[in-house]
A and B are shown apart, each in its own frame.
Chain A
Amino acid sequence: MFSKLRLGPLVFALAALGAVLVPFAGIDTYGIFSGQLNAPGTLNVLAIIFVFCTLALGYDLLLGHLGYLSFGFALWYGLGMYLTNWGMAWAAAPYFVALLGALLVSGIAAVIVGFVSFKVRGIYFSIVTLAFAQTFYLFVSLDPLHISGAEEGLPLNSDQVPDLFLGVINARNVYWLAFGLLASVALLYYWITRSHIGHMWRAIRENEDRAELLGVNTEALKLGAFVASSLVAVAAGAVAILLVGGVSPHEASAFFSLDILIMVILGGRGRLPGPLIGGAVYGYLRLRLPDFAGSELVATMPGWLGNLFAEPAFVLGIIFVVVVLLLPNGIGSLGMKSRTAD
């Protein structure tokens, strides 16, 4: 156990160093990615995977540590995307200023949404968060004020984005930005879950009434976890618009909220490696599986079966059911000493 604790930070540091150096590595990926490891397309896929990992880390503060199951987490990711883009379009604010504005507005929104949602516990909390997220989703997808581009979404407002982050040539800069965000959020996650606050979050997860009775300020701690996790998602959304070149309502939908839940459960909740593994597995399957539809392996299968296995949602759903049944602590628990399933 002690050797694992010592090894952990070393492994993470080496992985981080490797990730930073990827844009310099012109290595063939043998079909794992569509091109060389440092090709702009590959860097884009990797950066989106980093965004998913960031999102999963944020969600895990709420699910893994506080023990609250949200069905509406995509709201914050969507807010990060739309608010940043609106800030750049309407206030003509430079990208990073728009990002700060989005964080500020979403922070206030998170306090209000959290306050209402924490009036109830358990599955009722899940439904109330879903209702909030669905309200925003309907607002942007039906677009009554003609500001969000309805189902089509909006293209990235590139006038306000620094040139450094635009175009195929600068794919590596956006990659580093996404990695920088992931690394900072991972460090924050590591620090806060080991701090006093993290311990009290888990006390609430284990038994909220007992924690409250022992004098823990559960209201403030819960709201703190909610706001922190929301802001992580807002930042992830703001970076994502640079990677996907725009915003679309799907990223704020209930489907995406459930996808974030899937990421965390796949990897395993409550420990740093879990959301990272889950985000990576999810992101890789979602982004790469459709490309395998034309591959030789798929061609040997009957048509419908091949189509089925090239559909990311199907494969993810099956993997998810298998993981929940056989690995209750997620894929991340494979290498660890077995802990009892909760």
Chain B
Amino acid sequence: MDAVTNLSGGALAYASILFLISCGLTIIFGLLDVLNIAHALFIIIGAYAAWLLMESMTGIDDLTLRFLVSCILASLVSCVFAVLMERVFIRNIYGNHLRQILITLGIAIAGQAAIGVMFGFSPKVFPLPTTMDGRFDLGHIHIGKANVVIIGTAIVAALLLLAFLKYTRYGLIIRAGSENRPMVRALGINVDKSFGIVFGIGGLYAGLGGALSSVYFPGITPKLGIDLLIMCFVVIMLGGRGNIIGSIVSSLVVAMLVVFGTYSVAPGVGEIAAFVLLGLVMLRPSLRGRAG
């Protein structure tokens, strides 16, 4: 039983990272019908920017503060990149989903290679502040301090995103656009304007997820982006397109499967179980929702 509770901390942290990446992915997918493969690049931009800032901002002596600043700046870097990418590339090819997906694929491949050339393909280990090292002990339950930080960040981020979607005008347009874009257009609202915002959110959250995954995983490599993205594809397919609550739930399910499968059977079993679950959901139209 102890093992289960202790693993849960890791599983929750992994679910948090999956959620941070998937929420932007699923909004972009819901609104534009584009599976944004460049999300893999947002992730590693966040991760490597955080690593670089952590190494280079020696002016800030307090490591905890430096970590905080690094994570925030890294997410912003990724956010700016995402907005620019949407402006320069995606916007030029409206209405052609395959070409938009292909563009994001090309950017992801070139960007990943560029990061690999700049930083090397071997794992970079993130210097963890001592305040985040170690774990909290609550009786029999142990949970890593870093994991608590990751989980807490994800909860705050999720609440902010839900509030944005629920209470702002742009949030309303995004929600309505995911439901029925032609109808929103017909009502005279320019949905296309919100595309930049959607990509900005995607870049911000995926960059944050990437920065935090450099704490969660033992080291970061350029491959990390695609590896995480594949699991996030499963998350958004299970959660339903454009569905934030759905992706919270499916992040938890996928993370539990992966962490407990790895622990109790063998590495890779958990991932395969998640793929099998996806296959079963796709086979049962009643479970599939609006999957097509």
Which A residues have a C-beta under 8 Å from some C-beta of B? Answer: 69, 116, 119-124, 126-128, 130-132, 134-135, 138-139, 141-142, 144, 254-255, 258, 261-262, 265, 304, 307-308, 311-314, 316-318, 320-321, 324-325, 328, 341-342
Asked if B234 is at the interface (CB within 8 A of a chain A CB), the reply is yes
Partner of A261, one of B103, B105, B107, B291: B105
Interface positions, chain B 84-116, Cβ under 8 Å from A, are 89, 92-93, 96-99, 101-103, 105-114, 116
- Known contacts A121-B292, A254-B230, A324-B103; is A317 also within 8 Å of B282 by CB? no
Q: How far is the CB of A249 from chain B (nearest CB, A)?
A: 11
Partner of B109, one of A69, A119, A135, A320: A320
- Chain B residues with Cβ under 8 A from A144's Cβ? 266, 268-269
Residue of B at shortest CB range from A122? B292
Partner of A126, one of B35, B106, B272: B35
Residue of A at shortest CB range from B99? A324
25 contacts between A and B (CB under 8 A): A69-B101, A120-B288, A123-B33, A123-B35, A123-B101, A127-B233, A132-B279, A134-B275, A135-B275, A144-B269, A254-B230, A258-B37, A262-B106, A265-B102, A313-B116, A314-B117, A317-B108, A317-B111, A318-B106, A320-B102, A320-B106, A321-B107, A324-B99, A324-B106, A341-B96
Count how many pairs of residues, one from A and one from B, have CB atoms less than 8 Å apart in the complex.
122
- Chain B residues with Cβ under 8 A from A258's Cβ? 37, 105, 109
Which B residues have a C-beta under 8 Å from some C-beta of A? Answer: 29, 33, 35, 37, 89, 92-93, 96-99, 101-103, 105-114, 116-118, 226, 230, 233-234, 237, 266-269, 271-272, 275, 278-279, 282-283, 288, 291-292
- Chain A residues with Cβ under 8 A from B114's Cβ? 308, 311, 314
Q: How far is the CB of A90 from chain B (nearest CB, A)?
A: 22
User: For the complex, what is the distance from the CA of A131 to the CA of B98, rounded to whole Å?
Assistant: 20
User: For the complex, what is the distance from the CA of A328 to the CA of B269, rounded to whole Å?
Assistant: 40
Residue of A at shortest CB range from B229? A254
Can you add 8 more A-B contacts, CB < 8 Å, to A123-B101, A127-B237? A127-B233, A134-B271, A144-B268, A261-B105, A313-B112, A313-B116, A314-B114, A316-B109
- Chain A residues with Cβ under 8 A from B111's Cβ? 317
Whether B292 and A120, one on each chain, are in contact in the complex, defined by CB atoms closer than 8 angstroms, is: yes
Q: How far is the CB of B211 from chain A (nearest CB, A)?
A: 23
- Chain A residues with Cβ under 8 A from B268's Cβ? 138-139, 141-142, 144
User: For the complex, what is the distance from the CA of A95 to the CA of B38, rounded to whole Å?
Assistant: 41
User: For the complex, what is the distance from the CA of A116 to the CA of B113, rounded to whole Å?
Assistant: 34
Chain B, interface SS category? helix
Q: How far is the CB of B192 from chain A (nearest CB, A)?
A: 19
- Chain A residues with Cβ under 8 A from B230's Cβ? 130, 134, 254
- Chain A residues with Cβ under 8 A from B266's Cβ? 142, 144
Partner of B237, one of A69, A124, A134: A124
Whether A119 and B105, one on each chain, are in contact in the complex, defined by CB atoms closer than 8 angstroms, is: no
Q: How far is the CB of A258 from chain B (nearest CB, A)?
A: 6
Residue of B at shortest CB range from A318? B110
- Chain B residues with Cβ under 8 A from A126's Cβ? 35
Q: How far is the CB of B139 from chain A (nearest CB, A)?
A: 35
- Known contacts A127-B233, A128-B279, A325-B92; is A304 also within 8 Å of B118 by CB? yes
Most buried by B among A139, A141, A316, A325: A325
User: For the complex, what is the distance from the CA of A126 to the CA of B96, rounded to whole Å?
Assistant: 17
